[in-house]
Amino acid sequence: MRILLLIALFTFISKPLSASDFHSPRTAALGGAGHAGPLLTDAIYLNPSFVSLLPTYSLSFAYLKFKGAAHSDGSDYYGRSYNATIQDGKTELFQAGVGYTVREDGAMLHVGASKSFVERTGFGLGGKYIMSNTKRPTITDINLSFTGIPLDWLQLALIIDNLLQSETGKAHGFYREIVIGSKINVMGLVLLYFDPRWTHALPNSEKLGFEAGLELPTFADLFIRAGTFRNTMQPFQGKYANGWGLGLGWIGPRISLDYGMSRVVQSKAKLPQALAHTASVTVYF
């Protein structure tokens, strides 16, 4: 499996495309935050370097459905997407994963590989391949990431997404972004996330955005989540927007069940409000 993942990863790099291309229920509930502490297969999309800090085999399936308010012609718009991801965090040589997403406008393939050279750190390389079902050209790009855990209660991450930023990718909103992720564990009572991001290609008033969220662990295995976002890409709309999220998650001995919702209250493209619901099941061992 690791050989196939490595071949796929370097196939992406050899080819001449928005950040946060897929949000799991947990990510959506946290407002898109969580780059410094992704759970299980979320690492492939948020921060591949964290795969080395997740010593499990994981397989997840997710479903999303969204509805938007009326277009200018008076009609509502609807959509759905499906996702499957597999991740290997145990192999000694390096740790990796691959995910496939089917959306209304096409399909996406993501791969990520990670290695920890120093204890409590991870270095990651990711690739993405976007296949449109319209006349848009196929878009490919890569990302680099680093994770460090300097203190037991503090985790930090740096991600550079859409590093290549081709002209074709820029034309469709896939801009280079720099994300700084942070996770703070407040005495085990609440987990706080704050992920500011910088997108140079956007207008000056929109270059800086952020995602922020919190998790409340209850009964040791149930998590209540909430978050907010500003000037960040929302995958189900494909636009930069503002809004908030809510959700729940249950983590069992070998399975994780998650639900999240995301509400867009203002879009930079002046799109109407929209609401997305997403759920997933993940098995790990």
pLDDT, averaged across the chain: 88
Q: Are 146 and 135 in contact (CB under 8 A)?
A: no
Instruction: Pick the range with the lowest mean pLDDT from 102-106, 116-120, 185-189.
Output: 102-106
Instruction: Pick the range with the lowest mean pLDDT from 1-15, 39-53, 185-199.
Output: 1-15
CA dihedral 280, 60, 24, 249 (to 10 degrees): 50
Residue 218: exposed, middle, or buried by beta-carbon count in 10 A (0-12, 13-18, 19+)? Answer: exposed
Q: Are 178 and 54 in contact (CB under 8 A)?
A: no
What is the per-residue pLDDT for 74? 53
- pLDDT tens digit sequence for 140-153: 899 999 999 999 99
Instruction: Pick the range with the lowest mean pLDDT from 63-77, 192-206, 210-224.
Output: 63-77
- pLDDT tens digit sequence for 52-63: 999 999 999 999
Residue 232 vs residue 220, higher pLDDT: 232
Cα 206 to Cα 41, 240, 241, 242, 269: the distances in Å are 30, 9, 10, 11, 12
Round to whole Å and give the CA distance between 90 and 203: 42
